[in-house]
Structure 1
């Protein structure tokens, strides 16, 4: 007996030594994979890049892992209990490894010959998620155990649970429970009820299998099992349990829902930051604040959307998506599936026309609902032939639709659903704060998800007459006045930089004869602009245009420059107009206001060159250094770079005043609907109507709108900058300027207003009844003119005394 006992003790000792040796051998094999204490304490989550407007509205999120980290104290008690009930009810009592659970997993392996999982504590899951791969190997499992043991020694249970709550994958690209709450319920964790918390607590075991959106029946079973466990563990009472298990599944795929639609802007930010941060951009948890104002961005979205649709409807209906007569008699599920197979567009619906009457059409929507389209929804749809030609207005529904047509419908406040079609034309809008160049709204095209090409920054199109104010500014700077006369008459130019002799004409072929510059600008007379540039000289004009930010190398070196033949982006045009808006200063457009890291520390703060007429300048230290100024703001006294003045304030105001007349009397007359006399602007339409523009401003804000086809197809008969782009500009500016007082461009006190002859531009004669007022720089005021005195006393009037008749004439004159 004693001998047997000794043998058993010896075998036990050998077994223990063997076990220790095996453990040490395993440890030695995996020790390089065990993180250090510093690594355990310095765990960083992968957090996506988030981009916001200046007023804290979410624009976009970039990163494969949707994650919103929370602190332990922010974890709802019911969620913590649901996680423990589902994953590790002994979490607060084991040292990181559950021996019973591991033994059960080992027994399954021995009896079935297969690894069936299980046995992992929450600590082991954290170790696997942070430091290891998900490969099913013994080495990884042992490493996981050692890391878990070490974590329990170095971190508190609360810290480990916090890591778990923020790291674990829960399906639909959601990492962490706060992200899952947003993805599945569109709410924060603290807004979820017990049933919803138990539902997402069931996801870690198998996110795809128990996904409540994809597999609602399985997820319901899993949720109710967790609720039962919580009840049995005393975590909830029977009433709470009963209410929760009776709750329906309310989960949907909410995904990432921006607060404001600004996809072109989000992509601009992503591209700019990617150059600096590379792929780390998507994981480092940076928060970017842009200069965008959410209300103005929404107004810009609406203005471009409506402007494009209005143009598209004016040019007729291009027909149904396809005709599927056979679908009418098909089963409901087949009809619905056929409609859902067509890619969705915005918030529109695809519909199958089931029947038509004289003034109505019955349709089935892709969501399975039926609707009746009234005549007001359809009557606009005259047949499209081409951009210049369309058919007559329809007189009955059958002129437009037949049963079996598959069409698109868009929401409409008047008729619920309006017959629609995807537009082929494009439009884009850029709006700047002219004092510092901050981009306050930007729309790069009709729909980002259809075409990501950003027409504000990437497209270079001819601005046409939208460019003329820059040429006129050069003329005023060189001594011309708004009253200077240029003969608007046929002319032939034999410019060596042009391929052949050039005979510029005005729109409509009409010539006006001798014309004042003010008139020529608001009428947009081409011949005057060409003659003016010819007098100014191309080289000197190219040099002058640098003041507005234009690169002479990008501009044509011939007389066509006067008509806007350069290829320029809307952003370049708006930047140039900002000079007119801010009183003659050059600013640089910018979009990113600040970048904050995951810890709330500032990585970047924008310091834009800024117009400040009341700033105290600091001395320049070098010729190349921008002059600094002291700015009084709500945050106190700040020092920022001062924008350089590039245009004489007197010249700048006269250009502004002339461009106000474009709206009062010229091609921008539609903008009078805004009933504001502080706004100014200019239309622009290129040859054959391939590009249509309107750029306008007041003393605070400048906005440019471009419209056209990406392939430069002409916009068609009757379409101009004033008909295509100006309406969108008006809609945007109506919102942007709402409730704001007039903001005039500063008028220097040195300017002089005198009466002139409207036909000659000369100083008006005393008593001239058709005289008008004009503004001049003091040194360029036309000389005083007087009527010649009547010849009296046989022609010796100059030496004779004034007669009573002569005296009466003089009195009448003055």
Structure 2
């Protein structure tokens, strides 16, 4: 009896001691335990995704790849696999499995080290959401207490859902849906039993069992899990054998953009960071941009093809590098260091034959290039000179040359080189400023510098329409005569006189404004600016969105010497295209949060519609409570002025420096070329009522494009390529004629109303209050009173020039 009493009281003492220890531990640790209730509203990190207007993925930003799914979306095979691997008693325990803890304790006693934590899935949820990964007894006790609380407050389904969306599974994949996409390029519900078992084997050690790094160990882990599933009765023998026989076939899948628009993606990313800070990368925002995929694709193709076309006109500069005398394996290593830039892939010449070249590509294949695609490759001497035309492939390339090739639609390769020049394209909807397409350079991989929005360059003659519009609102008409004659400006303090000239050093004498614009006469623009006054012109330019303090306060403004970005130029031109309304460019159409709720929808100031609302419009407004009332854009220029300017800019295409665009076969196009001194910058801006598009081309470090290169030879072909695609199958569309416009027959020699029967008279458009008097009232100089008179070479400027 004494012995029994000793055992009894010893047992009671041990039990009380354990109870007191556990109670003390709980009282010590419980004040620091986080609220389990927060798990119900936990926000997992989800990357930022940017889409085109028509829903195509452009880019994904964020360190963690994650696509959370609900418990109902988890395949039952995966549930069985993960429980077999991690916690087969999950359905029965209350957060802690004593047998697992005893097994872990035994391992510690045997080895003296913590080998496995004996953690249940609930304990792993506690650790992943609330604790650090350190291995210590205090952290394990905290984990146990948290697991017990989690089991009391959450259902098993909720716990499992948290677990499968949080766990790290290698290669930046967090959660099983992201892992399915990374390893198989499929959704989790599209995977086979063997594939699900492979993913279920990753949580234990994502690096050790990673199928991309250790396929053999991954297979061993997968097969073990399949065996556990069979033992637990979750699969039958037939499914087990079929899954075992399935090979481990995985490749690294990343979120592949459906649309190549990296400059658009970067602009959207920067704007989102400006709005939300670092949360932009983790809160699961989805951004819909204003850019339709088909327009962006057309813009990218236009810029890349246009630069290649220009580049080939100026000859072949030689291979990017030479690797002679190397083995194919060494060549392959060098190729893998190279990036595909735009549409140009790297390749190394392996053989030179009479019919062309054999080259090694990054795919490891040896492919041929025809001699016909190499005949353009005359040696580059300088911007204006080429060497002799090559007679055979050996004149162009040698074995070991690192070159560039373009893969054609039929799979064949064409000989190319990476262009040295750059280009940018911006296309806006003139009615609200939406960016419909934007390209900031030949290749974002080559340079992420966005020339469309960041590169300030002189626009040259593409700025002249703003000076002409100012003149039309200051008493001039399209028929006004201005003298195209030499002029010299000599100011105090100037070492040399300023002698502006036309690009061909010719002078036409008194010339109508319409003709001066489509012939791009510099001296007429200078005289116009001199007459209306620089301060008036600067103030007028602010109506188009330009900042007065960023424009030169001298007569060179008339020649486009301001430094402006293509985006700023396109924004200014939108006022001409939309009837005189100022709009602001914008890129983000809509932002949705992780739940799909719209948290932002753009409501830009827009040109008022002249069409009455349709029944469908009224229904949309009634049902869409998130749509704010459209804000009217500010009317900054008389619509009659923009109508006359459009008519004059149409003549630039019909008979001026933009005649090449006649090949598009449309009569609703208006535009203007621009070429700066020594052809360092090439521009073309143009529009119809649907799109206003600006193209710039030049070198990043300004140098001549060539003495035969102009806005009409470099920028205009790119503009035409894009606009042809953008306007395909669209009806012709220009600003309608506003009230207060008159059309009169004009004598081209005097700019006055023509006499009856005049043979060379033509029709001109005027504001009703600006119609010219009859030709009989012409003065001795053939000029309208108030317009500049012919000047001699001693003319001087009434204000500072520089």
* TM-score bracket for the superposition, by shorter chain length: over 0.9
Structure 1 residue 616: Cα displacement? 10
Q: Cα gap change, 1:230/1:59 in structure 2, threshold over 3 Å: closer, same or farther?
A: same
The reply on whether 1:207 has 2:206 as its aligned counterpart is yes
Residues 602, 498 of structure 1: CA spacing in aligned structure 2 closer, same or farther, 3 A cutoff?
farther
Alignment match, 1:53 = 52
- Rate the CA distance shift 1:348–1:579 in 2: closer, same or farther, 3 A: closer
Q: Is 2:84 the counterpart of 1:94? A: no
Q: Which residue number in structure 2 is paired with residue 13 of structure 1?
A: 12
1:431 to 427, 433, 452: 427
Give 3-state SS (helix, strand or coil) of 1:17's partner.
helix
CA-CA distance at 1:169 after TM superposition: 0.8
How much has 1:13 moved relative to structure 2?
1.8
CA displacement 1:39-88 (0-9 Å, x = unmatched): 23222211122222222222222211111111111112222222222222
Aligned to 1:351: 347
Look up the SS of the partner of 1:635 in the other structure. Answer: helix
- The answer to whether residue 293 in structure 2 is matched with residue 294 in structure 1 is yes
1:484-523 aligned at under 5 Å gives the runs 484-494=480-490, 500-523=496-519
Question: Map of 1:225-240 to 2, 5 A cutoff?
Answer: 225-240=224-239
Q: Secondary structure at the match of 1:509?
A: coil
Match of 1:156 in 2: 155
Further displaced range: 555-564 or 202-211: 202-211
Alpha-carbon deviations, 1:666-712, whole Å to 9, x = none?
11112122211111111111111111111111112111111111111
8 Å contact kept, 1:497–1:557: no
Q: Does 1:582 align with 2:572?
A: no
The correspondence of residues 160-171 of structure 1 with structure 2, limited to 5 A, is 160-171=159-170
Q: Which residue of 1 aligns with 2:754?
A: 764
Aligned residue in 2 for 1:136? 135
Answer whether contact 1:351 1:365 (CA < 8 A) is retained: yes
- Distance of 2:343 and 2:145 partners within structure 1: 53
Partner of 1:700: 690
Contact 2:750–2:775 under 8 Å retained in 1: no
Q: Distance in 1 between matches of 2:616 and 2:609?
A: 10
Aligned to 2:394: 398
1:266-305 alignment, distance < 5 Å: 266-305=265-304
Q: Provide Cα deviations, 1:338-362, integer angstroms capped at 9, x if missing partner.
A: 3323455456443332221223222
Give the whole-Å Cα distance in 2 for the aligned partners of 1:155 and 1:660.
Answer: 71
CA distance in 2, matches of 1:341, 1:594: 38
Give 1:750 deviation, angstroms.
Answer: 2.5
Match status 1:636 vs 2:621: yes
> Are 1:450 and 2:449 an aligned pair?
no
Q: Report if the CA contact (8 A) 1:755-1:771 is conserved.
A: yes
Cα distance in 2 for partners of 1:346, 1:766 equals 61
**Does 2:479 align with 1:480?**
no
- Which secondary structure does the structure 1 equivalent of 2:582 belong to? coil
Offset at residue 30 of structure 1 (A): 3.1
Check conservation: 1:765, 1:787, Cα contact below 8 A: no
Q: Could you say which residue in structure 2 is the equivalent of 1:622?
A: none
User: In the aligned structure 1, how far is the partner of 2:610 from the partner of 2:616?
Assistant: 8
Q: Given that residues 631 and 639 in structure 1 are in contact (C-alpha distance below 8 angstroms), is that contact kept between their aligned partners in structure 2?
A: no
The 5 A counterparts of 1:29-48 are 29-48=28-47
Partner of 1:336: 332
Q: Is contact 1:211-1:219 (8 Å) kept?
A: yes
- SS at 2:357's partner residue? strand
Residue 161 of structure 1 deviates from its aligned partner by: 0.9
TM-score of the superposition, structure 1-length normalised? 0.91
Partner residue, 1:774: 764
| Equivalent position to 2:363, from 361, 364, 367 | 367
**What residue number does 2:252 align with?**
253
Change over 3 Å in CA distance of 1:633–1:405 after alignment to 2: farther
Q: CA deviation at 1:444?
A: 1.5
Q: How does 1:544-563 map to 2 (within 5 A)?
A: 544-563=540-559
Greater shift, 502-511 or 359-368, is seen at 359-368
Q: What is the DSSP-based 3-state SS (H/G/I as helix, E as strand, rest coil) of the residue aligned with 1:595?
A: strand
Are 1:568 and 2:564 an aligned pair? yes
User: What is the distance in 2 between the residues matched to 1:606 and 1:415?
Assistant: 42
Name whichever of 31-40 and 456-465 sits farther off. 31-40
Alignment-derived partner of residue 784 in structure 2: none
The alpha-carbon distance between structure 1 residues 348 and 26, as it changes in their structure 2 partners (threshold 3 A), is farther
Aligned to 1:686: 676
Instruction: Check conservation: 2:304, 2:342, Cα contact below 8 A.
Output: no
Structure 2: how far apart are the matches of 1:227 and 1:671? 67
CA distance in 2 between counterparts of 1:634 and 1:315 reads 58
**Do the aligned residues in 1 keep the contact of 2:592 with 2:599 (CA within 8 Å)?**
yes
How far off is 1:632 after superposition? 4.6
Q: Quick one: distance in 2 between partners of 1:193 and 1:537? A: 77
The answer on whether the counterparts of 1:425 and 1:708 sit within 8 Å (CA) in structure 2 is yes
Q: Is the 8 A contact 2:341 2:443 kept in 1?
A: no
Cα distance in structure 1, aligned partners of 2:738 and 2:759: 29
Distance 1:656 1:701, change over 3 A: same
1:634, distance to aligned residue in structure 2 (A): 6.0
Alignment of 1:400-415 (within 5 A): 400-413=396-409
Kept in 2: contact 1:631–1:640 (CA 8 A):
no
Q: Is 1:80 paired with 2:90?
A: no
Aligned with 1:657 (options 642, 647, 652): 647
C-alpha distance in 1 between matches for 2:213 and 2:405: 28
Match of 2:700 in 1: 710
Matched residue, 2:638? 648
Q: Deviations over 1:276-302 (max 9, x none)?
A: 322222112222222222221111111
CA contact (8 A) 1:351 1:408 kept: yes
CA contact (8 A) 1:350 1:406 kept: yes
2:124 maps to 125
Match of 2:606 among 604, 610, 631: 610
- Give ranges in structure 1 of 5+ residues lacking alignment: 618-629, 789-814
**Correspondence for 1:466:** 462
The alignment status of 1:534 with 2:533, answered yes or no, reads: no
Structure 2 distance, partners of 1:232, 1:783, is: 104
Question: Which whole-Å CA distance do the structure 2 matches of 1:220 and 1:754 have between them?
Answer: 86
Q: Which SS does the other structure have where 1:492 is aligned?
A: coil
Query: How far 1:118 sits from its partner (Å)?
Result: 4.5
State the alpha-carbon separation in 2 of the partners of residues 219 and 345 from structure 1.
Answer: 36
For residue 809 of structure 1, what is the aligned residue in structure 2?
Answer: none
Q: Deviations over 1:22-51 (max 9, x none)?
A: 323333443244221432322221112222
- 1:396 deviation in Å? 0.5
Distance 1:95 1:787 in 2: 105
Distance (Å, rounded) in 2 between the aligned partners of 1:355 and 1:422: 21
Distance in 1, matches of 2:102 and 2:133, equals 21
The alpha-carbon deviation at position 549 of structure 1 amounts to 0.7
* Pair 1:753 & 2:743 matched: yes
Structure 1 residue 470: deviation in Å?
A: 0.4
SS where residue 759 of structure 1 aligns?
A: coil
Deviation (angstroms), 1:97: 1.6
Indicate the SS of the match to 2:273.
helix
RMSD, aligned CA? 2.3
Q: Which residue number in structure 2 is paired with residue 732 of structure 1?
A: 722
In structure 1, what is the Cα distance between the partners aligned to 2:254 and 2:714? Answer: 36
**1:787 shift after superposition:** 12
> What secondary structure is seen at the aligned counterpart in 2 of 1:180?
helix
Residue of structure 2 equivalent to 1:812: none
Do the aligned partners of residues 756 and 345 (structure 1) sit closer, same or farther apart at CA in structure 2, a change above 3 Å counting? closer
1:234-266 superposed Cα distances (whole Å, 9 cap, x missing partner): 323333333333333332212122221222222
- Write out per-residue CA displacement over residues 715-740 of structure 1, whole angstroms, 9 at most, x where no aligned residue: 12322111111111111111211221
Q: CA deviation at 1:412?
A: 2.2
